Structure 1
Amino acid sequence: MRHLIEPLGIIHIAFQATACDPRAPGSDGPEDQEDAGVWKRRYLALQENLNTQSAPKSSIRKAETTTSTSQLGRGIRKVVFICGEIKDLVSDSDKHYAYLADPNDEDLNYEFDGLNEDEVEDLKRDWERSHTAVRELIHLIPNFQKKIDEGSPEELNQFYAEATNGARSDDLNRICGCIADWLNKADPTPSPPLDHDCHKHRGLAHDITGRLLCPTEFDWDDLVTRAKLRECDEDFDWLSSYHSRCFYPGYEADVTQLESGYLKSNLLIKVYKSIFTSPSSAKDVSEDNDENMPPAKLQKTLSSNKPVRRNVASKLHLNGKVTPRSIAYAAVQLHFNLQTAGSWSAIYGGFNYQGLYNYVVDVFEDAPGPAAKKRAQDLLNWWSTKIFPTTSLHRRSNTLASRKAFKQQRAALEEEEAP
């Protein structure tokens, strides 16, 4: 506040000198009257700014724009990590930090005993992924860093309990019904139709959900292949693939280009919208499977004094940008609800959902080089455009480059035309 008060006093003195003392030197011409007006406007503007910053915030406004810690705890599964304990996350994050500081740390290297080279790299990647998750928690929950650094074991246990699983279960139950509604309206119509409230007749046994669960490496339309998949033939191991058709546009992909189109299916976008924006917003997603289609047209909204109910994305501070972990969460919700499971399990029927979540996160966070990082960022930008189409309209443009070029050209012409 001091940075406003001190200039305010200086401007006030200058304004008094020029505006209130007509005999002051240089105060008898129209330019000096204009100068006094400038000082007056600056004084009033700073005074207004000072009053705005010092005024107490309305409790109603605060209630509309803040989210309680318990609500944020329900959101941890959606935007930070799909399952597990916060204390384990923090512990692995600390290991990553310690390993970077000293790769020869004996206690850390002891954990590598008995592991091959690939397994060691996977373990270090687990630590790194947890470290990123902790940074996400710091962004999500106020004073999280202070709490884990200074809290007593008793306080931390209570705080860690905030990471509830209720929201994940609620989403599972709701997405179960949404998927049934969407697929039952699709062409061809499922036979039998999917039950809105039950997973019982889903999975590989159902032709529609089976196609969506089938990895792109296998030809679902081939009846022999389909039978082998259902028999769990060892040469048709669909449980070891995270390239299910449900993640690709049109549910088809080039097996030699697995990254192309990955995570761009309309069904996945619908699941994401249902979770993070609103179930009704998923209706705006076209049934056309063209991944390059523009986002839905913006709907005009009527002005109103009524407070607008904030969606999950706003409460979890996504700020108009899709995150890798929120996509991973939606991917797990989609795949899990195509299965026959009735309740959450990190591993169901041999399929590792913790592994799927980590795999999708790594698509964005563990790119091997600059080209892959650019593709990952392009995919993330594509997602943000699909989910938050209005964000680009409110993004302030940067005209510095065009202004600079224009100014340089005018200056050059000025020199050429000078006498």
Structure 2
Amino acid sequence: ALQLGPRKKPRTTDPLVHHGRHFGRTIHALCNVNALITNGVIRMSERSEEPEEAFTAQERREHKVFTLLMRSVPGLEERIMTSDSEEEVHNIATMLQKGASSARSDDTKSLKSAIIDWLLPAGECLIPPIGRNIKIERGFHHERTGALLCPAGVDWSDQEIKQKLRSGELSVSGDQWPILLYSSYKYDDTNPWKGLLQSVILVKAYKHIFTSPSSVEREAKATRSGNARIHGMTSVTCASIVYAATQARFALSSSSVFSRTDTTTDSERFYNSLLEMLEDPDETVEVNALLTWWNRSVFPNYNTNSRPVSKDSALAKIKAKR
């Protein structure tokens, strides 16, 4: 009893789990990876000759996610396309799914406590206070979380509406986006793009997940090894913004378990409706401006390609001679 037992062998995690974590956070959080890969392989083999118009909008979106997944994991496409074993492909999908699910679970757990500190300006107290690890007091049951979760365009100060939201008589679907997404928590119904996905609480949630919890209250240093740095991430993606928004929204809710099929929080519809809007070609101008804003807010070393060359610099003189 006084002697050390045999040393435990260190457990090694399949690299695909590591890649799956990043895939879930930055490319797609709520997809069925096995179905995604199966359909992607079919499209690249049996349906490779079919024109783009032969596929539905949903199939095109799905294939885009599949393509991004293949690009994000070195050697994955070759490994899948040359595999003779359905079991191997299934195991690959299982590892990626495991990574995405575990990352989501880790982020849900850590944000549940952290988000309490972001509900009010520093120095102000929540009345009544909210337990850091208790969800039942949140959602529409609490004045502050209820105000943030209230759908944009709905008046939280209206006592009748507030009571209906609390009782469940007035249900909120996932595509009714909450005011917490908007800058200063203000919504302009004549310009619904104004301030969308630019709230302080969203930026804090994003930094907490991607650049490290300690970067939330101060600028992230390039040397800090958060999830973004670990995966070589130097700019935001639409999916990563939506992921942070989905996590923040859930953290404020009274639901205790994150579930795709939970009709109370309706997280899957919320996630998909936001992501589809950001990927809509008709919204390109607004989305590009939003991505630039996010990159400047989150990544201190981010530079846009559109920055003009400094006047009278050596580079300017070289360019002038071309």
Query: Per the shorter chain, which TM-score range?
Result: 0.7 to 0.9
Three-state SS of the structure 2 residue aligned to 1:131 is helix
Alignment of 1:141-180 (within 5 A): 141-151=73-83, 152-163=85-96, 164=98, 165-180=101-116
Three-state SS of the structure 2 residue aligned to 1:330 is helix
Q: Quickly say closer, same or farther: Cα 1:217–1:398, change in 2 above 3 A.
A: same
Q: Which residue of 2 aligns with 1:348?
A: 262
Give the distance between the partners of 2:143 and 2:106, measured in 1 at CA: 27
Give the distance between the partners of 1:310 and 1:194, measured in 2 at CA: 31
Q: Quickly say closer, same or farther: Cα 1:256–1:95, change in 2 above 3 A.
A: farther
Give the distance between the partners of 1:239 and 1:206, measured in 2 at CA: 19
Of 267, 270, 281 in structure 2, the residue corresponding to residue 367 of structure 1 is 281
**Pairwise CA distance, 1:238:** 2.5
Of 49, 57, 65 in structure 2, the residue corresponding to residue 133 of structure 1 is 65
Of 198, 220, 231 in structure 2, the residue corresponding to residue 316 of structure 1 is 231
Give the distance between the partners of 1:259 and 1:283, measured in 2 at CA: 26
Identity rate of aligned residues, in percent? Answer: 27
Q: Which residue of 2 aligns with 1:79?
A: 26
Q: Which residue of 2 aligns with 1:181?
A: 117
2:34 and 2:94 in contact (8 A); partners too: no
1:82 and 1:354 in contact (8 A); partners too: no
TM-score (norm 1): 0.64
Give the distance between the partners of 1:355 and 1:173, measured in 2 at CA: 21
1:364 and 1:377 in contact (8 A); partners too: no
Q: Quickly say closer, same or farther: Cα 1:92–1:364, change in 2 above 3 A.
A: farther
- The answer to which structure has the higher helix fraction is 1
2:27 and 2:237 in contact (8 A); partners too: no
1:382 aligns with 2:293: yes
Three-state SS of the structure 2 residue aligned to 1:342 is coil
Give the distance between the partners of 1:405 and 1:159, measured in 2 at CA: 48
Aligned length: 300
The C-alpha deviation readout for 1:230-279, integer Å capped at 9, x for no partner, is: 2334xx44225442111011111112322211100010000000000010
Q: Which residue of 1 aligns with 2:252?
A: 338
Give the distance between the partners of 1:104 and 1:340, measured in 2 at CA: 43
Q: Quickly say closer, same or farther: Cα 1:255–1:310, change in 2 above 3 A.
A: same
Q: Which runs of 5+ in 2 are unaligned?
A: 1-13
Give the distance between the partners of 2:167 and 2:136, measured in 1 at CA: 18
Q: Which residue of 1 aligns with 2:137?
A: 201
Q: Which residue of 1 aligns with 2:197?
A: 263
Give the distance between the partners of 2:298 and 2:164, measured in 1 at CA: 38
2:136 and 2:254 in contact (8 A); partners too: yes
Q: Which residue of 1 aligns with 2:242?
A: 328
2:16 and 2:92 in contact (8 A); partners too: no
Alignment of 1:212-361 (within 5 A): 212-233=148-169, 236-284=170-218, 310-318=225-233, 320-361=234-275
The C-alpha deviation readout for 1:66-113, integer Å capped at 9, x for no partner, is: x943311222211122123212123444677749924786xx7xxxxx
**Pairwise CA distance, 1:197:** 1.4
Give the distance between the partners of 2:77 and 2:89, measured in 1 at CA: 12
Q: Quickly say closer, same or farther: Cα 1:216–1:96, change in 2 above 3 A.
A: farther
Give the distance between the partners of 1:345 and 1:402, measured in 2 at CA: 54
1:140 and 1:317 in contact (8 A); partners too: no
Give the distance between the partners of 2:171 and 2:94, measured in 1 at CA: 37
**Pairwise CA distance, 1:340:** 1.4
Give the distance between the partners of 1:96 and 1:229, measured in 2 at CA: 45
**Pairwise CA distance, 1:188:** 5.8
Give the distance between the partners of 2:185 and 2:53, measured in 1 at CA: 46
Give the distance between the partners of 1:343 and 1:278, measured in 2 at CA: 23
Q: Which residue of 1 aligns with 2:8?
A: none
Give the distance between the partners of 1:127 and 1:215, measured in 2 at CA: 30
The C-alpha deviation readout for 1:201-224, integer Å capped at 9, x for no partner, is: 111111111111101120111222
2:174 and 2:270 in contact (8 A); partners too: no
TM-score (norm 2): 0.82
